[in-house]
């Protein structure tokens, strides 16, 4: 009987030790999972992962016409005029640089080469000006190949400012052409970068320069 009790006691101690060892291993495994490197982490640094709190610059494509052929944003004005070259603002087929009296309109979008009207937008967020053509596109614009335009048509800066690409001579600051006009607030230029968050050099009305994140870029 004493031998039986001793065997039972030893068996109980063995089972208890096994439970303890299993618990320790389980806790170690959980700790290892808690400190395991995330996907995209190499050498202690994240790769291709945007840090928390930083937004990615959003790329938007402007669509001038709705599926039924109407101007997507509606029409704000009706004018007459003609076009003389392809757009220098956006790189898109059937997009032109036009004149209405002494006013330069670019970009102006046509449904086709034979269109009798083009629709000109001052910005991606504005309504169109319907320009009735007094001369056909075929007679005034001989090349149908879009110009090579690599910059965005417009940018939206962190904080809410929106800026439109300009033509002609621009000021250069810190080696960056300030080729965007941000209304009456100032001007801006985009830093060359392939980062997820692109930045612009903003020049305020007082001439102060600031680096600002670009929230959105519009292209057509």
> For 140-197, what is each residue's pLDDT tens digit?
999 889 988 999 999 999 989 999 999 878 899 999 999 999 999 999 999 998 889 9
Long-range contacts of 93-101 (CB under 8 A, 24+ apart): 93/144, 93/146, 94/144, 95/146, 95/220, 96/137, 96/141, 98/131, 100/129, 100/131
How far apart CA 174 and CA 177 sit, in angstroms, is 8
The pLDDT tens digits for 65-74 are 999 989 998 9
pLDDT band at residue 201, thresholds of 50, 70 and 90?
very high
Q: What is the pLDDT of residue 63?
A: 95
Do residues 105 and 131 touch, judged by C-beta distance below 8 A? yes
* Residue 53: exposure state from Cβ atoms within 10 A (0-12, 13-18, ≥19): exposed
């Amino acid at each position: 009987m004493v031998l039986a009790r001793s065997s039972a006691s030893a068996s109980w101690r063995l089972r208890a030790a096994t439970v303890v060892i299993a618990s320790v291993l389980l806790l170690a495994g959980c700790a290892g999972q808690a400190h395991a490197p995330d996907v995209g982490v190499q050498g202690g640094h994240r790769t291709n992962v945007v840090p928390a709190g930083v937004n990615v610059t959003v790329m938007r494509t402007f669509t001038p016409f709705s599926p039924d052929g109407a101007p997507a944003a509606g029409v704000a004005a009706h004018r007459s005029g003609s076009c003389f070259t392809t757009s220098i603002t956006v790189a898109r087929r059937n997009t032109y640089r036009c004149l209405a009296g002494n006013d330069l309109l670019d970009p102006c979008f046509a449904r086709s080469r034979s269109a009798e009207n083009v629709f000109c937008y001052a910005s991606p967020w504005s309504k169109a000006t319907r320009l009735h053509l007094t001369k056909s596109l075929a007679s005034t614009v001989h090349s149908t190949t879009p110009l090579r335009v690599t910059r965005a048509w417009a940018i939206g800066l962190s904080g809410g400012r929106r800026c439109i690409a300009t033509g002609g001579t621009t000021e250069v600051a810190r080696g960056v052409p300030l080729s965007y006009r941000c209304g009456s607030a100032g001007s801006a230029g985009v830093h060359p970068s392939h980062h997820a968050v692109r930045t612009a050099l903003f020049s305020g009305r007082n001439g102060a320069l600031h680096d600002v994140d670009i929230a959105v870029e519009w292209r057509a």
